Amino acid sequence: MIAPSLLSANFANLEKDLQMLNSSKADWIHLDIMDGVFVPNISFGLPIVSAVKKLTNKPLDVHLMIVKPENYFEAFALAGADYISFHIEASTHVHRSIQLLKKLGVKAGIVLNPHTSVALLEDSIKDLDFVLLMSVNPGFGGQQFIEQTYSKIEKLKQLIKQSGSKALIQVDGGVNAKNAKELYQTGADVLVAGNAVFSATNPVEAIAQIRNAKNA
């Protein structure tokens, strides 16, 4: 699957970019929420998520790069999030946070920064709907993919298998048509792509290319 990230979209005309995404093979739409505290950048918040919800039927995948993420789960769920992921580095009571997401009726995901070990998920993996592995340091689009991500995917896949979890593996940062095939082959289920989609001359085609990379 592919989840294009709106971070690289044209914010002066989001409707146009959403029409493009609606006409594409995008599976989810990825929304990057940054607070300028957890990450050194500020992106957008609730009003944009609500506005996007009105313009698409595709599932909204909200990636929270904020401190105290649990304080905002309900608001993002009400704004239209179908999937919500929060950073393990920003959360003290991970089990409680996952249960809260489930209670709100959204799919629950944990995000790991590049330096954060997959082993930390040992006791939560069974409760998770998805795990997001950051393949860049979060905060900005258009950064270079960190190669170490492949071995983290392998470790995570192993953990998922051992535990009988049904969690999907999502990878975010520096994904493009060149590395997509190897990422899918290593075990990624959902690839997030911002720059590779929105800087392409034909974004619809770029989405299809990344999505179908496994068979290329």
Where do contacts with Zn ion occur on this chain (CB under 5 A)?
32, 63, 172
Residue written as token pair 């190669």: 147
Question: Is 172 one of the annotated active-site residues of the chain?
Answer: yes
**In angstroms, rounded to a whole number, what is the distance separating the alpha carbons of residues 170 and 187?**
9
Contact between 141 and ligand DX5 by CB under 6 A: the answer reads yes
Q: How far is the CB of 29 from ligand DX5 (least distance, A)?
A: 11
Binding mask 54-83 for ligand DX5 (x = CB under 6 A): ---------x--------------------
Contact between 30 and ligand DX5 by CB under 6 A: the answer reads yes
Contact between 8 and ligand DX5 by CB under 6 A: the answer reads yes
73: CB partners within 8 A, 6+ apart: 84, 86, 97, 100, 101, 104, 106
Name the one range near ligand DX5 by CB under 6 A: 66-74, 98-106, 113-121, 170-178: 170-178
Contact between 139 and ligand DX5 by CB under 6 A: the answer reads yes
Q: Which of 17, 32, 35, 129 is catalytic?
A: 32
List the one residue from 79, 160, 168, 175 that touches ligand DX5 (CB under 6 A). Answer: 175
Q: How far is the CB of 125 from ligand DX5 (least distance, A)?
A: 21
Q: Which of 17, 35, 129, 172 is catalytic?
A: 172
Q: How far is the CB of 76 from ligand DX5 (least distance, A)?
A: 15
List the one residue from 33, 81, 121, 193 that touches ligand DX5 (CB under 6 A). Answer: 193
Q: Which are the catalytic amino acids?
A: 32, 172
Residues forming contacts to ligand DX5 in the complex (CB under 6 A) are 5, 7-8, 30, 32, 63, 136, 138-143, 172-175, 192-196
